[in-house]
Structure 1
Amino acid sequence: MHVGILTNFATPKGGAEKVALESARGLAERGVAVTLIHGADGPADPMLDHPGIRRVGLGLTDVWERPAWRGAIEGIWNREAARRLDAALAALPVRPDVLHLHQWTRSLSPAIFPVLARSGLPVAITLHDYFLACPNGVYYRFDTAEPCTLRPVSPGCLAASCDPQSRAHKAVRVARYVAQWAAITRGFDRRPIDLVHVSDGSRTRIETMMRGAPVRHHRIDNPVRVERAAPADPAANDAIAFVGRFTREKGADLVAQGAHRAGLPSLFIGDGPLADELRAVPGAEVVGWRAPAEVEALLRARARAVAAPSRWLETGPLTVYEALAAGIPAVASDRAGAAEKIRDGETGFVTAPDLASLSGAFGRLTDDALVRRLGAAAHARAWSAPMTLAAHADALCDLYAGMTGTAEAPSFQRSAVM
């Protein structure tokens, strides 16, 4: 089998790219031929260094690096992206059996959907967010700091000032959404797109929002790239850790404030607009972005627990899965897909994303015996049904077999239970 994987970048600038690159590597290690096509220029992650992976760059630019007017136009419809993708697919020495798209909003744009449809190949899309169903991509109202309850592009949606940037920015996103769905409904009327969901909650929400669309739904866990090892000793550590982009919708501020209220230090790995605000909280330490191996080492050495208190309906933050697999308790928002992997009170805690609830959970983590018990249970449960790269690749191959007609899998589901 030959699989074409499409994404914005050849480096893991976010969760979507990280999963795309890890999927490519996992499939290649399973013996599947992979062509990774990335829109924007830039260095390639070392995990793509495998003889089974061909890398094709389209030489495009991230729209966030363009002047605002040009980024807006290319974000809605990048004709050059479509032309270059069309040429790249035609130039491949071996035609792919399946195309699998992971992200398109930063460099590729909705202009690629007619190209994918014209290829005549089965197309899968992994939904790491809500851009396929919601103009602002996170189904969250930044004006009210609450998850959205409106039907996408309904009158209420169009009137809402929900975008994190401005009303003008929302207008661009709505235009992109309209262009995207016009391309999908015209191009995929005969062969549906296979949508891959990374959590049960996001699948349920998107199925509701996309009733009647030319799509089929599947459920596959993201991979956890953690080598099996002895569990960490979180009771010997001191900090509540947060890994990722420091924003309010991800709840980074709640971690700093909640840990301080509970009498614990906090450790922030990553960067984002709240970095200076976090540094001002007593006991908070910001160390910036680190390579995956460094992140794991830091968590094993410092983390008493990992927290992901998302205010938005996050599909499935990888940091929680990686912490559990390392034997570190996790605390997640009841709005996040990651909460599905936590046994409340057994491997961590599931809480509402508010300061009182979170600081209460962190206060319980001052008990060494409890932390040690939670960590041991997290490690044992994670490795009883591991979400490894190999398991992820197996699930993808089952999906592709159903898409290409070599196996029957119209409602495929593969989900490890933690």
Structure 2
Amino acid sequence: MPIIVVADHAHINGGQAKVAIDSALGLAARGHAVTFFAAVGPADPRLEAAGIETILLDQVDVTTTSSLARFGVQWLWNQKAAAALGEVLARHDPDDTIVHVHAWAKALSPSIGPVLAGSRAPVVFTMHEYYLACPNGGFYDYPVSAACQRAPVSLGCIAHNCDSRGYARKLMRVGRHVLMRNTGMIDNLAAVITISRLQRAVLEPHLPADTRWYDVGNPIDAEPLGHKDQNAPGGFVFVGRLSAEKGAGLFAEAARLSGQRAIFVGDGPQRAELEAAYPEAEFLGWHDPAGVKRRLRAARTLVFPSVWYEGQPLTVLESLALGTPVIVSDICAGREAVEDGVSGLWFRSGDPASLAQAMTRLSDDATAQRMSRAAYDGFWADPLTLDRHLDRLERIYREVALRPAQVTAGRPAASLRSAPLT
């Protein structure tokens, strides 16, 4: 089956790109003819080694551009991406091809919408975030560091600055969102994949009523190493971007309240501020994947204090797979993988005192050891492996490829709505 994977990036710069690339490699290994289409390089060398045709536009994204003013045209409407994707689709038989979109908002832009809508090839969209429903992609109010409850592109939404960089940027996001909504990108999706129950609950009110939903968890790259050494419970570790929406400052404050030391693995815009305000904390910077796993394996617990509707945090699942319990915010989908009081603890989102109480509870060695064993056993009883992920993708591809001829404009009939793949 020819499969065209569409993403902003052709290299791993986060969980979204990792899932797109890992699944592309896995599908190619199963014999599918995979094409990887992306705006931003460099390309992961494994793609070429796997025989995957990689179409790379050699563009920048919104986070790496040297001039937002010059980048604004690409961000709003990337004509180069539209033309190149159109050429790729023209080379494939639409009756024998699946297009799987993982990302568009950082570099590809809404310009790919009319191209996808104009093709008869079924389009599958994995929701790693919320850009099809929310202008800033997260239902998150950055100035107040809280989830946003406003209806997208309502008067209340347009009038309120929720952007991390100012109201002018917010208005650009609104304009781009309106463009996207009018490209047919949403109305012509053959299937929408969500990566958690929370994500679907947030998105469902904003997408067409006859959307075909599938729940497919992201694959986790982990090995069954066995239970951890019970004599080395380790410390409290945060892994990820040091930013407000990730709750980095919340963790630092809770660690101080609980008398524990905060250990940060990662970097981001809040690092200098946090280093100055919390000199007792340890800042280790970014690690490669193997280094992150070593840190997680050695930790007493992973603290995941995200304050937005994070879809399915890979770090939470990786931690559980390594036998490290997780303290997780009750607002993000990471809670779905953590059994409160068994494999970790939930705390009230945005509340440093609640997080401090959870940290105090897990500072007890016996509690940490019990939860470590439960975390490991719970994950490996039903592991989210790449093979399971690929099995589910192939089933979805088969179902949308067999949609009846009377379904026009790329939209599936309501009678074809399938049960979630859990």
Q: TM-score, normalised by structure 1?
A: 0.92
**Contact 1:234–1:371, Cα closer than 8 Å, also in 2:** no
- Rounded to whole Å, the distance in 2 between the matches of 1:169 and 1:245 is 21
Mapping 1:227-246, distance limit 5 Å? 227-233=223-229, 236-246=232-242
- Rounded to whole Å, the distance in 1 between the matches of 2:227 and 2:233 is 13
2:303 corresponds in structure 1 to 307
**Contact 2:25–2:50, Cα closer than 8 Å, also in 1:** no
1:110 corresponds in structure 2 to 110
Structure 2 SS opposite 1:332: strand
1:10 corresponds in structure 2 to 10
Residue type of the partner of 1:86?
G
- For residues 239 and 409 of structure 1, do their structure 2 counterparts lie closer, same or farther at Cα, with a shift above 3 Å needed? farther
Structure 2 SS opposite 1:63: coil
- Which is further off, 231-240 or 311-320? 231-240
Residue type of the partner of 1:170?
K
Does residue 345 of structure 2 align to residue 349 of structure 1?
yes
**Contact 1:403–1:409, Cα closer than 8 Å, also in 2:** no
- Rounded to whole Å, the distance in 1 between the matches of 2:193 and 2:318 is 20
Which of 318, 322, 326 is the aligned partner of 1:326?
322
Mapping 1:375-390, distance limit 5 Å? 375-390=372-387
- Rounded to whole Å, the distance in 2 between the matches of 1:46 and 1:204 is 37
1:56 corresponds in structure 2 to 55
2:203 corresponds in structure 1 to 206
Residue by residue over 1:305-332, the C-alpha shift from the partner in whole angstroms, topping out at 9 and shown as x without a partner, is 1111111111111100100011100111
1:219 corresponds in structure 2 to 215
> Shift of residue 91 of structure 1?
4.7
Structure 1 SS opposite 2:228: coil
> Shift of residue 247 of structure 1?
0.7
- Rounded to whole Å, the distance in 1 between the matches of 2:93 and 2:233 is 53
**Contact 1:264–1:283, Cα closer than 8 Å, also in 2:** no
Mapping 1:5-404, distance limit 5 Å? 5-42=5-42, 44-48=43-47, 50-64=49-63, 65-91=65-91, 97-184=97-184, 191-212=188-209, 215-233=211-229, 236-280=232-276, 281-301=278-298, 303-353=299-349, 354-404=351-401
> Shift of residue 47 of structure 1?
4.5
> Shift of residue 115 of structure 1?
1.1
Residue type of the partner of 1:39?
A
Residue type of the partner of 2:35?
T
**Contact 1:31–1:52, Cα closer than 8 Å, also in 2:** no
Residue by residue over 1:15-38, the C-alpha shift from the partner in whole angstroms, topping out at 9 and shown as x without a partner, is 211111121122223333321111
Q: Which runs of 5+ in 2 are unaligned?
A: 405-414
> Shift of residue 4 of structure 1?
1.1
- Rounded to whole Å, the distance in 2 between the matches of 1:235 and 1:160 is 52
- For residues 33 and 227 of structure 1, do their structure 2 counterparts lie closer, same or farther at Cα, with a shift above 3 Å needed? farther
> Shift of residue 261 of structure 1?
2.5
**Contact 1:399–1:412, Cα closer than 8 Å, also in 2:** no
Residue by residue over 1:335-371, the C-alpha shift from the partner in whole angstroms, topping out at 9 and shown as x without a partner, is 1111011000000011112100101001111111111
> Shift of residue 215 of structure 1?
3.3
Residue by residue over 1:116-152, the C-alpha shift from the partner in whole angstroms, topping out at 9 and shown as x without a partner, is 1222111011111111100011101123322111111
- For residues 412 and 2 of structure 1, do their structure 2 counterparts lie closer, same or farther at Cα, with a shift above 3 Å needed? farther
> Shift of residue 217 of structure 1?
1.7
Q: Which runs of 5+ in 1 are unaligned?
A: none
**Contact 1:233–1:375, Cα closer than 8 Å, also in 2:** no
> Shift of residue 264 of structure 1?
2.3
- Rounded to whole Å, the distance in 1 between the matches of 2:215 and 2:104 is 20
Residue by residue over 1:74-128, the C-alpha shift from the partner in whole angstroms, topping out at 9 and shown as x without a partner, is 1111112111222233356999621111111121100011111222111011111
- For residues 194 and 402 of structure 1, do their structure 2 counterparts lie closer, same or farther at Cα, with a shift above 3 Å needed? same
Q: TM-score, normalised by structure 2?
A: 0.91
- Rounded to whole Å, the distance in 2 between the matches of 1:49 and 1:215 is 34
- Which is further off, 255-264 or 46-55? 46-55
**Contact 1:35–1:54, Cα closer than 8 Å, also in 2:** yes
Alignment: residue pair count: 409
Structure 2 SS opposite 1:196: strand
**Contact 1:235–1:371, Cα closer than 8 Å, also in 2:** no
Relative to its length, the structure with more strand (as a share) is 1
> Shift of residue 69 of structure 1?
1.7
- Rounded to whole Å, the distance in 2 between the matches of 1:118 and 1:406 is 17
- For residues 230 and 50 of structure 1, do their structure 2 counterparts lie closer, same or farther at Cα, with a shift above 3 Å needed? farther
Structure 2 SS opposite 1:370: helix
Structure 2 SS opposite 1:245: coil
- Which is further off, 399-408 or 1-10? 399-408
**Contact 2:219–2:389, Cα closer than 8 Å, also in 1:** yes
Residue by residue over 1:227-269, the C-alpha shift from the partner in whole angstroms, topping out at 9 and shown as x without a partner, is 2222334761432111111111110111222123223222212
> Shift of residue 73 of structure 1?
2.0
- Rounded to whole Å, the distance in 2 between the matches of 1:63 and 1:347 is 38
- Rounded to whole Å, the distance in 1 between the matches of 2:261 and 2:26 is 37
Structure 1 SS opposite 2:238: strand
- Rounded to whole Å, the distance in 2 between the matches of 1:307 and 1:201 is 20
- Which is further off, 106-115 or 404-413? 404-413
> Shift of residue 382 of structure 1?
0.3
**Contact 1:260–1:282, Cα closer than 8 Å, also in 2:** no
